[in-house]
Structure formats: structure tokens, C-alpha cells
Structure 1
Amino acid sequence: MPAQIIVIAKEPVAGRVKTRLSPPFTPGQAAQLAAAALEDTLRTVAALPVAHRVLALAGLPGYWLPDGFTVIPQRGDGLDERLAAAFRDAYRLHPMPLVLVGMDTPQLSPDLLEAAVSALAHRDAVYGPACDGGFWLLGLRRPDPGLLLGVPMSRPTTGRAQLGRLTGAGLSVATLPELTDVDTADDAFQVAAQAPGSRFAGVLAALAQGALL
């Protein structure tokens, strides 16, 4: 089934990304980890045979962006607005089912993305819960801002509220396995252990040795 994947991300600038990693990491080190996580995510998406790949970016592209992505700016204030706008803007470019992921799960595998895309062939939506109570993936056969606007973001109840918004709208929803978002240092080491060959794991190991963590 033709589909597109959206990655929603911030430019990895020190002091603006992964602030909960500091301490023990410095803001500059946290930005290095964010860049590595983003690069891993984009490479995974780039390797998938989908019709289109879109990066909804707050900031400017850098060395970490591979070929094959259309870059669009994020719009809106709160995360709910930015997610809704990313879905809407990508759909205007390419009117086909969409799967959106963030930059916080460098352990993301092509198999999980393929499962999400495949699910939209027979479901209205696909949802990937995160261990912190949020969600790491959201897929929609057709975007509707009403499915996202007003959902309280960055809370332990965010995922439950988002899933309730989908089912409350009468959508059929496929659920993917739970993943850990990288928010804290403990998260970072857990995720690196799950993806030992990732760029994220390599950068974390180098920083941990230098910082004597």
C-alpha cells in the first residue's frame, strides 16, 4: 500500500534538546546524543521502501539528514498543534496514509515501521505506546486535526488520552509494541543496550567513558 513516513524533530542544538539528560550530561553532550538518535531514526526510515519520506523540522537541517526526505517546517505552538500540522501538511503534499515517529527512539527497526504501514491497509489508525505513558508512533489513514488538537502532551496520561481520542472517533486502531523514549540518562542506557550497533549507542558509550559515568 502506498504510504509516507513523517519524522517530527528538533534541530539538535545544545540547550534546546534532551534537556532532561543534563545532568549528568552537559547540554552539548545531550545535543550530541539527540543528533545521534535523529540520525539513527532517519537512516531507518530512509531504508524503508515507502512512497515518500517527510521531515517536519523545528530548525535547520544538518549533516544528519540523508537524501530522500522532503523537509517541511513545524507549525503551531503546543505539541498537539505541531503534530496536527505535520500530518495535515504532509498529506497536502502526498494524499496517502501517514505514519509519524519522533526522534526519541533510535532503537526503531524497519520491521516495526513496516508493521505500522501494513496495519493501515486494514485499520484506520496505528498506535505505538511508550513506556513513559506517551506514544512513539501514530499512523493515520487520513489526517484529522480533531484527533490531536487538545490532547494533553508530555504527561503520563498522554498516550491513554490520544488512544481514547482515536477510539472515541470510531476509528479501528492497530497497536504496536511498547518502546522506551530517550528522556533521561537511565532511558539512554536502556535504549543503547537494545540497539548496540546504533550510532546512538556508540556516542553514548564514548560520552559515558569521558564523563566517567
Structure 2
Amino acid sequence: MSKKTLAIFTRYPEKGKTKTRLIPAVGASKATQIQKLMTENILKIVEKLEEEITIKIYYTGGNQTLMEQWLGKQWQFIPQQGKDLGEKMFSAIESSFKTTKMPVVVIGIDCQSLTIDILKQAFLALNNHDLVLGKAEDGGYYLIGLKTPQKGIFNNIKWGTNAVYKQTISIGEKHNLSVFNLPILADIDRPEDLVNLPQNIKNLLTI
């Protein structure tokens, strides 16, 4: 029996290439370590859903071997495909849907206050909504879920700006998609966001 899919977007933690907006505040080594721990924290949350959903990790940087050495061989690793974030997310949703004909939820690793209950709420909402969004405090979103692939939702979005959520909602309305909104949570992208880090990562910054 086919299951719904959770696609997690992350990057292999390579010094100087990850969490670059944090580097001026904490340095390249700690920025890399922050991204590494943030990914591991998210996986500890989502692994509780493994029996109910299919979990796929979409990565950039590194390769299959490096990802397995870092996170273990129990996960399904898939290279991200596409020119921008929108294309990459749509590719992940479309490929999963082709196989399962079931809804897909996409998350990154920047929202460290994400909980198992919010994830369950997202999947439940897709039973009777076309689009599920978790708005981030910075105007983006930390989660997007679609009942069926909707390429238009990812077109002409100004990625990395505070307009992402607003633009996505506007496109959803134009396509007459029913929308379910999750609680607003904080992402960790910039130095001012470091206050939102969980304790296990804050400890790293004091070393």
C-alpha cells in the first residue's frame, strides 16, 4: 500500500558552502556545524513517522557515499534536481507522486521548532485540502504540502525574500486551491535568528 511522502531538503555540510549568511557572525566552521546539527535534529523528529510515511532526503553537495557516512544507510538519499528551489521542490513532489499517487510534504532543516504534531497535522490536512503551508516568521515558509503536483505554485517566486509565503498564497488562490495554514514558526537563516537555536546547538556556540 502506497504511503504519503515527506521530502526533506538539506545540504552536505561542507565548510564555507553552508549557512553562509551565518558565517560573519559565527565563522565558517561553526556555521557548518550548525547546519549539520540542524539536519540531525530534524531527522530525530521525523524518524518517529517512519512507519506511517515514506521519508526521502533530497541533498545538494557531497554524494551518496558521503551522505550515508554522515547520516547512515537507513535513509533514502536523492540528489536535488532543478535550477532554483522551486524547480527542486516541484521535481521532488512530482517524482514521488508519480510513484505513489499520494500527497507529498516538503520541509527544510531551518525550522528547529518543528514538531511531530505539526507534521502529523500537515499530512492530516492534505486529506481535504489541496495546499498546506507553514509560514515562517521571515515571510517564507518552513513547510509546503500538496495533495497533487501543482507546478504553478513554484513559478515566479522571489526565493529567499520575505514575499515567498505571500506570493505562494496568491498563486494558490488564483488556482482555486483550498489552503490549510499551520502555526507560524521561526527559521534560522541569519545572525539575528541564532536566538531560536535549540540548546544542543547553542552549546556549540559557547565552545
* Identity %, equivalent residues: 28
Q: Which residue does 2:177 correspond to in 1?
A: 171
SS of 1:13 mapped into structure 2:
coil
Give the deviation of 1:90 after TM superposition: 2.2
1:15-58 CA deviation, whole Å, 9 max, x = no partner?
Answer: 11111111221111101000111111122111114231111111
Q: Which residue does 1:115 correspond to in 2?
A: 121
Note if contact 1:105-1:136 (Cα within 8 Å) is conserved in structure 2: yes
Alignment-mate amino acid for residue 9 of structure 1: T
Distance 1:123 1:145 in 2: 17
Q: Which runs of 5+ in 2 are unaligned?
A: none
Equivalent residue runs for 1:33-48 within 5 Å: 33-48=34-49
TM-score, L = length of structure 2: 0.90
Q: Which residue does 1:4 correspond to in 2?
A: 5
Pick one of 165, 170, 174 that aligns with 1:159.
Answer: 165
RMSD value over aligned CA atoms? 1.8
Alignment-mate amino acid for residue 25 of structure 1: V
SS of 1:15 mapped into structure 2:
coil
Task: Indicate the larger mover: 53-62 or 110-119.
Answer: 53-62
Note if contact 1:8-1:100 (Cα within 8 Å) is conserved in structure 2: yes
Note if contact 2:3-2:100 (Cα within 8 Å) is conserved in structure 1: no
Give the deviation of 1:204 after TM superposition: 2.4
Note if contact 1:53-1:68 (Cα within 8 Å) is conserved in structure 2: no
Q: Which residue does 1:18 correspond to in 2?
A: 19
Q: Which residue does 1:51 correspond to in 2?
A: 53
| Residues 100 and 24 of structure 1, relative CA distance in 2, 3 Å threshold | same
Distance 1:146 1:118 in 2: 23
Give the deviation of 1:63 after TM superposition: 4.7
Q: Where has structure 1 moved over 6 Å in runs of 4 or more?
A: none
Distance 1:187 1:128 in 2: 17
SS of 1:177 mapped into structure 2:
strand
Task: Indicate the larger mover: 88-97 or 71-80.
Answer: 88-97
Distance 1:44 1:158 in 2: 25
Note if contact 1:84-1:149 (Cα within 8 Å) is conserved in structure 2: no
1:172-196 CA deviation, whole Å, 9 max, x = no partner?
Answer: 010001111101233122242xxxx
Alignment-mate amino acid for residue 3 of structure 1: K
Distance 1:97 1:108 in 2: 19
Alignment-mate amino acid for residue 175 of structure 1: N
Give the deviation of 1:104 after TM superposition: 0.5
Give the deviation of 1:4 after TM superposition: 1.4
Q: How many residues end up aligned between the 2 structures?
A: 201
Give the deviation of 1:168 after TM superposition: 1.5
SS of 1:71 mapped into structure 2:
strand
Distance 1:26 1:84 in 2: 33
Distance 1:19 1:40 in 2: 20
1:135-167 CA deviation, whole Å, 9 max, x = no partner?
Answer: 000000011222212222111111100111112
Q: Which residue does 1:144 correspond to in 2?
A: 150
Q: Which runs of 5+ in 1 are unaligned?
A: 193-200
